[in-house]
């Protein structure tokens, strides 16, 4: 299978540029976690840099339609690739749309914080040295559907589904 490489230019994290995906933490601009069910959790996460022979590739992104997530970068810097939430959330998750035209990537520096809106496709990629971040989120990971018809809390999209691969341009 031949994959189309989508080159994604990285930009600085700013309130205006990030608005379609969430909000940037600022003075007098608090962020509020939201979730439909579950418990709130705060975690410290180590993010290791990754790269390959062709640069930094992004094989997948996550989507959490029932809760948002707050991130605070406490050490180092990272890249945050994002795409808007799928409009077809009532469909089977394997069929959720991925808006390639509105895919974006932001550099997050030490001391910056942001909230990812519910359903926004996202992942984080470390740059240079290991970095550290605080994540305020819903407890639990992966696809969690205990009963038929219960909400899906998390889904991972493999970019190869659309015969594409994302390559960051830093």
- Just give the CATH number of 9-140+152-161: 2.60.120.480
How far, in Å, CA of 167 to CA of 23, rounded? 25
Beta strands 125-138; 40-47: pairing state: antiparallel
Domain boundaries in the chain? 9-140+152-161
Predicted confidence (pLDDT) per residue in 94-114, tens digit: 889 999 999 999 999 999 999
pLDDT at 84: 95
Predicted confidence (pLDDT) per residue in 2-38, tens digit: 888 889 999 999 999 999 999 999 888 888 888 777 7
- For residue 43, which phi and psi values (nearest 5 degrees)? -130, 150
Beta bridge partners of 145: none
Contact 119, 91 (CB under 8 A): no
CB atoms within 10 A of CB 125: 21
């Amino acid at each position: 299978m031949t994959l189309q490489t989508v080159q994604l230019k990285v930009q600085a994290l700013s309130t205006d540029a990030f608005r379609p995906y969430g909000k940037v933490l600022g003075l007098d601009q608090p962020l509020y976690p939201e979730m439909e069910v579950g418990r709130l959790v705060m975690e410290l996460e180590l993010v290791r840099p990754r790269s390959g022979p062709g640069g930094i590739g992004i094989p997948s992104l996550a989507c959490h339609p029932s809760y948002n997530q707050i991130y605070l970068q406490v050490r180092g810097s990272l890249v945050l690739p994002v795409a808007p939430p799928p409009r077809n959330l009532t469909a089977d998750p394997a069929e959720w749309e991925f808006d390639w035209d509105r895919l974006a990537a932001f550099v997050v520096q030490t001391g910056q914080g942001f909230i990812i809106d519910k359903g926004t496709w996202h992942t984080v990629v470390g740059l240079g040295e290991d970095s550290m971040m605080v994540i305020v989120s819903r407890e639990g990971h992966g696809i969690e559907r205990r009963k038929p018809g219960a909400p899906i809390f998390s889904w991972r999209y493999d970019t190869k589904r659309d015969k594409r691969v994302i390559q960051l341009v830093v």
